Structure 1
Amino acid sequence: MRPGLLWPVAWPVPTPCPLPMRSTRCWAENHDSPRGSSMTGSDRRIRIWIDRTPPSEVVIPPDAELVDGPEDADGVVVAADRPWDDDACRRFPNLKVVARSGIGYDNVDVAACAAHGVAACNTPDAPTVSTAEHALALMLAVAKRLKGSEARLAAGTAGGPGRLAGPGALELDGRNLGLVGCGRIGSLLGRYAEALGMDVLVYDPYLEAAPVGELVDLDQLWAKADVVSLHAPATPETRHIINSDSLGAMRPGVIIINCARGALVDQEALLAALDSGHLGGAGLDVTEPEPLPPGHPLLGRDNVVVTPHVASTTSVGIVRLIAQAVEQALIWLRGGIPEHLLDPAAAHPGVDRRTSTAP
């Protein structure tokens, strides 16, 4: 199995992991953004709607205010669970920018927003540390069979000291980690894995040299990895990249980690590989659907750990996600061009809603 490019050019080209942003206060509080088109030509405050209650550490500057709903907002800060598309742009005529509090923007129709003069931007630096740490935690939890050990302890069947941790428990030192995608999160996880003594294999169609480990083709990665961790966007090309064929090409006992998007994994194929014993385990922060319903066959297994898409939302991470999204929105609404603008066509004078006189 050797697919071509696995994600589209529209996805930002992965880069080596930068140093994490340590400040959790909103950037716009202390900096002047570049000026361009006037937002409304009025002196009223910029109206921002955030789809969840922001932590107190997120500072809203004096020229902006929070509003109770998107219908009143100049800009919205949103997670991944609601579509922002042609219909949303029509329903909210005051809307001028959609800022994703995260790296993935598969719920935002970027082209449709740009056609309406609505900017779309994301925050690719914000979830890096929290998500990479979560992927590491899932990898260790599955490799060490922590879930089964705790279950036996709770059931009174753990036995005394020195008992086996559980069937298939691994030492990761000397094992191979395969990264499918090696941008910010993947490269940081690779550094963590190297600190554990693992060898890192990288498949990423955008890279000429790997920022960590060794660049290989996908067939080599499937054949050599003891753990496969997914760090690619959800696109038609990457949908179900983990499937019966790719699983069959992997080593017996391999562990699958997914903190990217649920669509990357064919869950029926995953279940079949678990049931056959070919797959050693899985750690999943993302699934289809989200969340998994009670009683789902992936739940309740000793060698599968599932979390409900929470990898990026540590106490510090959620501040960084929302603060950086607010920053991006305010730069646009003050007339500037945010660093992570996804389609510059939104600034075309014929459509740019910042020049609108709508109240």
Structure 2
Amino acid sequence: MSVRVLVAGDDFVLNRLLIAALGRATTADLDIREISLPWPSVPFGRVAEVDEASGTEEQLIEALDGAEICLTQMAPLTERILASAPGLKLFGISRGGPVNANLEAATRHGVAVTYAPGRNAQATAEHTVGMILAALRRIPETHADLTAGTWRGDYYEYDRVGPELAGSTVGLVGYGAIGSLVARMLRGLGAEVIVHDPYVKPDLVEELVGLDELLSRSQIVSLHARVTAETAGMIGAAQIAALPPDAVLVNCARGSLLDYDAVCDALDSGHLYGAAFDVFPSEPIPAGSRLLSTPHVVLTPHLAGASKQTAANAARLVAADAGRYLSGQPLLHCANPRGATA
């Protein structure tokens, strides 16, 4: 008897990638149903009690009829959806964290939720290094001047130029899959890397320091921490003031780690040389945000992890756990292990 699978991809993690990965992960007889969600053309948002989701509860309830497995990136998994899908046993979210799933409700309903840790680590690390270089060398600003017909020779004045990355001290706040890759890339470019991460073992890092020391020594600070009760808002006005003059601050992790008004104040005053952000406290950035008018800020729209390899990795990781489920093996990336045994 075939197993019904709902594949709910979008315009990044495509249905065809998920289906192809599933075909490589299992030889089971599958009855595959597809729906396509509108992300990223339509920004994700809150759906009932879950965040960062695409699609509606009604759409998922209808599509999950009879499904035992769902593979998706952005589809919501809410209490209402779970109550309407009694046959569902596995919900695979092809993201670095299952933020669009109600894990407590999934566990109560006996649904295992898997995810795809590290799927975008390489892409995000590369983007981070690019953002650092863009901020140091004023690349977006000089490009904008040239396309507007202005040749700005004054960018060559000594008091306007930034430091080279080689020989600079870069402080990384967080040393997980992304932070450790950023460190390797920066060392390859000749930077000195120091790290603050209370969860990492000292023998895994060349130089592990406290946050205060990292801030006082770093010409460039890049954030790579997860958001927790302890890390939310961890970089505010006091921490920015502790940075050396003309430092650069980069955030490609999560917007809630940082006080962006304090960054704008430091840029306006000249204390910071520059900043580069891929994530924001509210996305999309609201019209009238200070970030859109403050000088020396490089902005990208939360796309650090956007690469073809990321999409393929995401599909492969959740499909692999679907294959394990179908063959009775333990799940490798289960966010709620009790849900797998309920």
**Mind listing any 5+ residue stretches in structure 1 that lack a counterpart?**
1-42, 352-359
Name the stretch that deviates more: 136-145 or 281-290. 281-290
| Residues 229-288 of structure 1, C-alpha deviations (whole Å, 9 max, x = no match) | 111212222111121122122222222221211111122222222222222222211112
Q: Is the 8 A contact 1:177 1:200 kept in 2?
A: yes
| Residue of structure 2 in register with 1:169 after alignment | 162
Given candidates 68, 71, 75, the residue that maps to 1:74 is: 68
Q: Counterpart in 2 of 1:101?
A: 94
Find the partner of 1:275 among 265, 268, 275.
Answer: 268
Equivalent residue of 2:204, what SS? coil
Amino acid at match of 2:69: G
- The amino acid across from 1:281 in the alignment is G
The Cα of 1:136 is off from its aligned counterpart by 0.8
Q: 2:251 aligns with which of 248, 258, 264?
A: 258
- Please state if 1:286 is matched with 2:244: no
In 2, Cα distance between the equivalents of 1:246 and 1:160?
34
CA shift, 1:168, in A, is 4.5
Q: How does 1:1-359 map to 2 (within 5 A)?
A: 43-53=1-11, 54=14, 56-58=16-18, 59=20, 60-61=22-23, 63-64=29-30, 65-68=32-35, 70-71=60-61, 72=64, 73-79=67-73, 84-159=77-152, 163-164=156-157, 167-209=160-202, 211-348=204-341, 351=342
Change (3 A) 1:260 1:97: farther
Query: How many Å apart are 1:200 and its aligned residue?
Result: 0.7
TM-score (norm 2): 0.80
Aligned residues between the structures:
306
**Conserved? CA contact 2:222–2:250, under 8 Å:** yes
Where 2:235 maps in the other structure, the secondary structure is: coil
Larger deviation: 154-163 or 129-138? Answer: 154-163
Partner amino acid, structure 2, of 1:139? I
Cα distance in 2 between the residues matched to 1:197 and 1:331: 43
| Contact in 2 for aligned 1:70/1:76 (Cα 8 Å) | no
Change in Cα spacing, 1:282 to 1:90, as seen in structure 2 (3 Å) is farther
Higher relative contact order (CA 8 A, sep 6+): 1
1:127 Cα deviation after fit: 1.0
**Residue 20 of structure 1: aligned partner:** none
Cα offset, 1:330, TM superposition: 3.8
The alpha-carbon distance between structure 1 residues 87 and 169, as it changes in their structure 2 partners (threshold 3 A), is farther
Identify the structure with the greater helix proportion.
Answer: 2
Q: What percent identity do the matched residue pairs reach?
A: 34
**Gap change, CA 1:142 and 1:219, over 3 Å in 2:** same
Counterpart code for 2:208? L
* CA drift at 1:218: 1.1
